[in-house]
Amino acid sequence: MALSKNNPTTQKSWKSLEKIYEQENGLKILDYLKNEPNRVERFSISLNDFYVDFSKNRISEKALNYLIDLCNETDLKKNINKYFNGEEINETEKRAVLHTALRSNKATKINEEVQNNLKKIEILSNEINNGKRLGYSGKKIENIVNIGIGGSHLGPEMVTEALSQYNLGIKPYFISNIDADYIDDLLKRINPESTIFIIVSKTFNTIETLENAKKIKSWFIENICEEAIPNHFIAISNNIEGPKDFGIYSKNILSIPEWVGGRFSLWGSVGLIISICIGYKNFEKFLSGARDMDEHFRESPFKKNIPVILALISIWYNNFFKCETEAVIPYNQFLSKLPDYLQQASMESNGKSIDRDGNKINYETGSIIWGSTGTNAQHAFFQLMHQGTKLIPADFIAFVEPLNDNHEQHKILNANFLAQINALLVGSNKSGNDIHKNIEGNKPSNSILINKLTPHNLGSLIAMYESKIFAIGSILNIYSFDQWGVELGKSIARGILEGKEDHLDTSTKDIAKRLNNRK
């Protein structure tokens, strides 16, 4: 069964939200903190190693209650069940959306397939790490190169970097962009005899990935030999024939099920590089962290449901305050790629303007997601967050404990995190000659406090954002799991490469001519 189709703006709660926004949009968060009894307690949620404080938002408890009504009026609970039960909720592509099944341990038919795939990941990871699976010439594998783009790249790259402290010794590399100069440079630095190449592409017809894979295969054959390919090339795809035609040995092909969307695929075979790098045991912990967050999302009442609350806050700022962007600021350098990863997960999912009934939408859907690590971000764009004309809601992610024994430095890092969430809220009241030092404050933030950056907690963090994305899409009545906007550009590029430039607009045609003349 498909997701319910309810226009959020025609719901009773939406009208109440419009009214309450008019009455309260000038109010101060500090006043809410002062006047709403136990606001911090009521506006915070604990789950395992997570503590989420959302009290520093420009939202009263009354408004939050209307947002909860909006969840009910748009059938969020029913939709969550359809999502987890594998109903065909991606209607425009006629597919279920079941990446959550990749980390589930419920005994279902699908789970058998998931377990079989996980077994393959486990065997490969163990054999590579313990030196049982060697290169063609008998050398131990030292490098893994992931060739893929979008969902076949961003997740694996973000997670291998985030968990690099858990790496068992194999060095990960990533090739995504079709930039031959970059690839040449990388190939100079690795020895093919001790390197495994993983070609990741759900469709196995993405131009960038296939061209990059072809280039690397030729280089490999030139430097070693064709017979060595089975020892060094693995493919991960939903299109089994594609990798075979490319010359990949069928035992070295792992599948991506149809019901796994690219941007949510890192939990299964696409996560092979993660499992090799951190070891299968840690990969299992990573999956169990996501599983715990899924359970929380499925079972908790909306008012104490972390992903639902984050989704509602996002809808509130986007639709009522008209904030166009949301920043993600992890106070952890290993999470430097998290904003990029969330950009795809969120913007490719909820950047839609037709609702599930096929109508043009007249409200706001996906926000622009961006960010960078604290404290770097403080020295880059925080000035605008403090004193600019734009209101930027932000998620601050901080860790109670460091990974190693660096407690003193960790204290400095976290002092900065605390200083920023406080400064954004309180500001600094100045006038007269000091007017340029006046900082209004009243700038919102969510604090996501996590005990430690472990595989389990990272799994929970990613699943938290995935569920937030689902909840936003469900409430806003859009299809979050297709990406037709991206498909258009892909097909035009294919046409251009086949010499079909006639149908381009006059400006683009002119630019194409200039590029062609340069050759």
Does 348 participate in catalysis according to the annotation? Answer: yes
- Within residues 322-361, the interface with ligand F6P by CB under 6 A covers 348
Q: 117 vs 454, which CB is nearer to ligand F6P?
A: 117
Cα atoms in the Cβ-side hemisphere of radius 13 Å centred on 309 = 26
493 binds ligand F6P (CB under 6 A): no
209 binds ligand F6P (CB under 6 A): yes
Selected catalytic residue, list 87, 295, 490, 501: 490
Applying CB under 6 A, among 2, 486, 488, 512 the residue interacting with ligand F6P is 486
**Where does 227-367 show beta strands of DSSP type E?**
233-237, 253-255, 325-330
Q: 160 vs 454, which CB is nearer to ligand F6P?
A: 160
Does 303 participate in catalysis according to the annotation? Answer: no
* Integer Cα distance of 342 and 158 in angstroms: 10
Beta carbon of residue 154, minimum distance to ligand F6P (angstroms, whole number): 8
201 binds ligand F6P (CB under 6 A): yes
Does 324 participate in catalysis according to the annotation? Answer: no
- Within residues 244-273, the interface with ligand F6P by CB under 6 A covers 262-263
Q: 68 vs 147, which CB is nearer to ligand F6P?
A: 147
| Distant-in-sequence, close-in-space partners of 133: CB < 8 Å, separation ≥ 6 | 124, 127, 141, 231
Strands 171-175, 50-53: parallel, antiparallel or unpaired by DSSP?
unpaired
From 128-136, 196-204, 214-222, 423-431, give the range in contact with ligand F6P by CB under 6 A: 196-204
* Start-to-end Cα distance in the chain: 53
Give the Cβ contact number of residue 210 at 10 Å: 18
Beta carbon of residue 210, minimum distance to ligand F6P (angstroms, whole number): 8
Per-residue CA distances from 415 to 335, 377, 400 (Å): 18, 15, 11
Beta carbon of residue 370, minimum distance to ligand F6P (angstroms, whole number): 18
79 binds ligand F6P (CB under 6 A): no
277 binds ligand F6P (CB under 6 A): no
* Integer Cα distance of 66 and 14 in angstroms: 8
Q: 99 vs 103, which CB is nearer to ligand F6P?
A: 99
Q: Which helix (H) or strand (E) holds 144?
A: strand 143-147
**Where does 246-373 show beta strands of DSSP type E?**
253-255, 325-330, 368-371
Q: 260 vs 287, which CB is nearer to ligand F6P?
A: 260
95 binds ligand F6P (CB under 6 A): no
Q: 99 vs 202, which CB is nearer to ligand F6P?
A: 202
Beta carbon of residue 343, minimum distance to ligand F6P (angstroms, whole number): 11
Beta carbon of residue 227, minimum distance to ligand F6P (angstroms, whole number): 27
Q: 203 vs 353, which CB is nearer to ligand F6P?
A: 203
One symbol per residue from 128 to 167: x for binding ligand F6P (CB under 6 A), - otherwise; what is it?
---------------------xxxx---------------
Applying CB under 6 A, among 56, 95, 99, 202 the residue interacting with ligand F6P is 202
Per-residue CA distances from 420 to 329, 441, 451, 460 (Å): 11, 11, 20, 25
| Distant-in-sequence, close-in-space partners of 443: CB < 8 Å, separation ≥ 6 | 385, 386, 391, 392, 424, 425, 427
Beta carbon of residue 265, minimum distance to ligand F6P (angstroms, whole number): 7
Q: Which helix (H) or strand (E) holds 161?
A: helix 154-162
Selected catalytic residue, list 73, 161, 348, 466: 348
Does the bond joining 375 to the residue before it have cis omega, within 30 degrees of 0? yes
Determine the size of the site formed for ligand F6P (CB under 6 A).
14
203 binds ligand F6P (CB under 6 A): yes
Beta carbon of residue 366, minimum distance to ligand F6P (angstroms, whole number): 14
* Integer Cα distance of 429 and 432 in angstroms: 11
488 binds ligand F6P (CB under 6 A): no
366 binds ligand F6P (CB under 6 A): no
Cα atoms in the Cβ-side hemisphere of radius 13 Å centred on 134 = 7
Q: 236 vs 306, which CB is nearer to ligand F6P?
A: 236
Selected catalytic residue, list 379, 390, 500, 509: 379
Beta carbon of residue 249, minimum distance to ligand F6P (angstroms, whole number): 20
243 binds ligand F6P (CB under 6 A): no
Contact by Cβ (8 Å): 216, 210: no
483 binds ligand F6P (CB under 6 A): yes
The structure tokens listed for 120 are 């393959």
From 86-94, 115-123, 203-211, 412-420, give the range in contact with ligand F6P by CB under 6 A: 203-211
Rounded to a whole number, what is the largest CA-CA distance in the chain? 78
Q: 210 vs 287, which CB is nearer to ligand F6P?
A: 210
Residue 98's closest CA among 109, 107, 106, 110?
Answer: 110
Beta carbon of residue 209, minimum distance to ligand F6P (angstroms, whole number): 5
Contact by Cβ (8 Å): 453, 403: yes
Contact by Cβ (8 Å): 446, 57: yes
Residue 56's closest CA among 368, 394, 321, 303?
Answer: 394
419 binds ligand F6P (CB under 6 A): no
Beta carbon of residue 261, minimum distance to ligand F6P (angstroms, whole number): 7
Torsion angle defined by CA atoms of residues 91, 5, 75 and 56, in that order, rounded to the nearest 10 degrees: 90
Q: Where do contacts with ligand F6P occur on this chain (CB under 6 A)?
A: 149-152, 201-203, 206, 209, 262-263, 348, 483, 486
Q: Please give the positions annotated as active site.
A: 348, 379, 490
